[in-house]
Each structure stands twice: as C-alpha cells, then as structure tokens.
Amino acid sequence: MSKLSGTFATLAVCAALPAATMVAAPAQAAGTHRMTLMSRAYTCDRQPINYMKFRFPAVPTAEITSDGHTAVARIDMLDGARNAQYTVRVIPAPHAALGCLPGDPSIATGALSTDGFGNGSSTVQLSVAPGTTGVWVAVDLPQPHSQSPAEFYSSDFVAAV
C-alpha cells in the first residue's frame, strides 16, 4: 500500500466514525430522559428548599419517556429502606408554587414498595396537559407522626415532554 492510499484509508475510517455515531444516536427513543434522583427537596415550582439538605443511602433512578400526550416515569430504587412504601409523584412543569402533594390535581401519584433488601421499582403515568413543557419526579418516604418525610429524592432537572 502506498503512503497516499494509506492516508486515504485513514481519512475514510475517521470520516466514517462520526457518521456511524450520528446514525447510532437516534436508537434511544425520542423523549427519553434518564436521571439519578438526588437528596434534594423542591417546592412545586422547582425552587430549592435549602434548609432540607440531607444524604440518604438509597440510589433511586428514573427514566422518563413521553410521546407528547403521556409522560411515563419508571423509578428504580436500590438500597432504600427495607420493606418500605415510598410515595412517587410526577409533577408537570411549569407548575404553581402550591398544590403538588399526592392526590392534588395534575399530579400523578404512585407507590414504590421495597423488598427486604431495600430494592423496588414503580411506574407512574401522567397525561400531559396543554402548556406543559416538562415533568420532574419526587420520591418521599413518609414518616409516622410528622409532616416531614423520613427520606426525599428529586430529579435534578425537568425532563422535556
């Protein structure tokens, strides 16, 4: 192989790699967002609640998919509280400052039950109302005899729908 043809072969391979990457990228479904939920609390309109900063041992993750009419959040929990029932909320954005508790209008609510190892999963579905540009996820472990949750996790960003 001549030096010139070797250079052309190298250029052809280098040119083909970005094209292959671009072709492979759409394999992920449109409107799919993966996120790790962090130990952060937010108000309904996504303002951080700075006095509630804790680190909890669980590792919850969420995958949010949307077709523009429905948003589906699949939440997986690792190392959570054992044999516990967490409350999962999918909250549309933009949202008013108040009214994003379980059972409130426009909020999709579900339960995530963990096993004896603290692992569990849940899927919650929300109808996307007109004007909704995204959704975010909040997961709480209710605490008996208190309005503050024993554990809380929220998505770090609003997933576009």
Condensed to tens digits (0 to 9), the pLDDT of residues 74-92 reads 999 999 999 999 999 999 9
Give the whole-number percent of the chain exceeding pLDDT 70.
79
Class (C level, CATH) for 30-160: mainly beta
- Domain segments of the chain: what residues? 30-160
pLDDT at 47: 87
pLDDT at 53: 62
HSE, side-chain direction, 13 A CA sphere, residue 122 = 22
Residue 10: pLDDT band with limits 50, 70, 90: very low
Give the whole-number percent of the chain exceeding pLDDT 90.
55
Is the pTM value of this prediction over 0.85?
Answer: no
pLDDT at 101: 86
Indicate if the pLDDT at residue 73 is higher than 50. yes
pLDDT at 99: 83
Mean pLDDT to the nearest integer, 153-161: 92
Q: Which two tokens stand for residue 140?
A: 């709480």
CA–CA gap between residue 22 and residue 80 (Å, rounded)? 38
